Amino acid sequence: MATLCRPAVSVPEHVITMEQTLDLARTLHADHPQLPLALRLIENTGVAKRHLLQPIEETLRHPGLEARNALYESEAKARVPAVILEALADARLRPADIDVIIYVSCTGFMMPSLTAWLINTMGFKSEARQIPIAQLGCAAGGAAVNRAHDFCQAYPEANALIVACEFCSLCYQPTDLTVGNLLCNGLFGDGIAAAVVRGQGGEGITLERNGSYLVPGTEDWIAYNVRATGFHFQLDKRVPGTMEALAPVLEALTKEHGWRASDLDFYVIHAGGPRILDDLSTFLGVPPEAFRYSRATLTEYGNIASAVVLDALRRLFDDGGAPELGRGLLAGFGPGITAEMSLGHWTTARSTPPTGDAQ
């Protein structure tokens, strides 16, 4: 059965704290009639710090969509390979052992996808399938896990590589002064994550069931308004309350599998904001501590979009993992409103022989 192995995660070197974010908002938007509301919303995110691709002075400039997208491409090529190599080493595989590369990102655009460049430069085989996912936003991390699971079910001896590359700071829009956009300026951070799903062997979450769900009539709640200046993020004020609709979906999926959503051993949840985690804790009937890894990602990195679930899983690994055969749930939420959900058991397999020498 397919096993999701330990993710590798990297964040850029430039850091902005909550205090700096609030000071910037007060300085840049001193005359904004809803500034007190925006400041309160940013404070309520619980994001202590975020990592940015560029120093804050450069982040605040807008040289145009063309320049920003060129920076997205050059930085992705400079930073992604090292993260991939770490993920491959954790899974005890080589680039040549990978049969499909699933690349997810919503903060820049390339055609061909970065997957083509990775195949040509990192030793992946030319026959490797490419699955770029660009329009699922934060839900794409969960979707990538599910599509990797599906692929390994179809090809039981195959191995899948997931890569999430999110440079949210390149979507900063200095002239967009809606309260939702001001909140996003204090919520999102930059990050890269990669993980391998092994068709055979491996240590981590042995994937058993996955599901997707779209909350009807919510396609405008999280969206991009694409303008000449690039991607303008739109966030409806009703988004934080979506767990009331999605918690029953998570419960139904676990029930179909013979489990109870309130009685699992680990949870890896996309932390779009603290309200998501608080509500999910209430509606599922699980203690807040169950989401500690997701909350740590939010506190230390902010919302790093599709990379959140992989970073939360990485934190679970680094904390010693779950009990052998422990039951768990992984879920990502994003535009649509879409939920991508996975169920599986925790597997330790330290004796799994490597397919080849990890590079």
Q: Burial code of 35-50, b = ≥16 C-beta within 10 A, e = fewer?
A: beebbebbeebebebb
> What is the pLDDT at residue 203?
95
Yes or no: say if 149 and 207 are a contact pair by the CB < 8 Å rule.
Answer: yes
> What is the pLDDT at residue 358?
40
Q: Where are the beta strands (DSSP E) in the chain?
A: 3-4, 8-10, 14-17, 49-52, 100-104, 129-133, 159-167, 190-198, 204-214, 222-227, 230-235, 266-269, 327-334, 338-347
Mean pLDDT per 10-residue interval, the chain, length 359 residues: 97 96 92 91 93 95 94 98 98 97 96 97 97 94 98 97 97 87 89 97 96 94 87 84 92 96 95 89 94 96 96 97 95 93 88 39
> What is the pLDDT at residue 352?
41
> What is the pLDDT at residue 239?
84
Helices (H) and strands (E) in the chain, counts: 11, 14
36 contact partners, CB below 8 Å, separation of at least 6? none
Yes or no: say if 316 and 330 are a contact pair by the CB < 8 Å rule.
Answer: no
Q: CA nearest 338: which of 209, 244, 226, 242?
A: 242
The bridge status of strand 230-235 relative to strand 204-214 is unpaired
Instruction: Catalogue the active-site residues.
Output: 138
Domains and their CATH numbers in the chain: 3-198 (3.40.47.10), 204-347 (3.40.47.10)
The whole-angstrom separation of Cα 106 and Cα 136 is: 7
pTM: 0.93
